[in-house]
Amino acid sequence: MAIRIRSTFHDGRARSMAELAGVIALLAWKLAIDSIKRMREAEYDIDLGSAYFDFVCEFMVFLAHAADRVAYRELVAEQRGEFTTALAQRMAAAIEDNRDMLLVDVTPGQCRRHFLDLFNRRGAEYADHGYAADGPDFGFRRCFAACLQEVLPEKDRLWAVDQVMEIESPEAVKALEKTLAGLFHPQAATPRARRGSPVVAD
């Protein structure tokens, strides 16, 4: 996966949670677009328009909740809440800023609201599954695959589960974990992630 995102800073200045969230939001956007390209090459039909938009939103929401689990491991509770809230807001802003690329004739603010609503709804679903030191468990990845299944045409849905669970989610999480490691400077101890994520207001 040829995606490069800055994960370390060299000027010694402490970064805010919002700045770190901005890095991850950009990474998530790039990973989502990269995944679409890979799935198209594998002959899945993801057309520009609503399917493309829904795919990007689901992919970024999955990475937001994965990042929140890593934040639980590495940050104190207040920092985690600040980071995850900023991350959801930054991702929503990216979706809104690129709405002309994703959809046509949408009301300003509609894409942002849609993303935040989706983030909050999926949070309850992903909360039922675990996230360990080696990434999301089977249920977490299966939930993500089920969400992306609904975006695809009927002919692609059966085969998409394996593609998402075995290729798309592991590749994305690997890049996410590597970037967050550089941003958070994690300690050796990695307690089990608490389930559930903060709810983000519109």
Q: Which residue has the tokens 């929140």?
A: 68
How many CB atoms neighbour CB 19 within 10 A? 14
Q: In this model, does residue 58 exceed pLDDT 60?
A: yes
| Cβ–Cβ under 8 Å, residues 132 and 192 | yes
Q: How far apart are CA 66 and CA 52, in angstroms?
A: 21
Per-residue pLDDT tens digits for 83-129: 999 999 999 999 998 887 777 677 888 899 999 999 999 999 999 99
State the pTM of this model.
0.86
Q: How far apart are CA 65 and CA 194, in angstroms?
A: 12
Per-residue pLDDT tens digits for 149-197: 999 989 999 899 999 999 999 999 999 999 999 898 634 334 444 556 6
Q: What are phi and psi of 14, to 5 degrees?
A: -70, 135
What pLDDT is stored for residue 189 in this prediction? 33
| Cβ–Cβ under 8 Å, residues 127 and 196 | yes
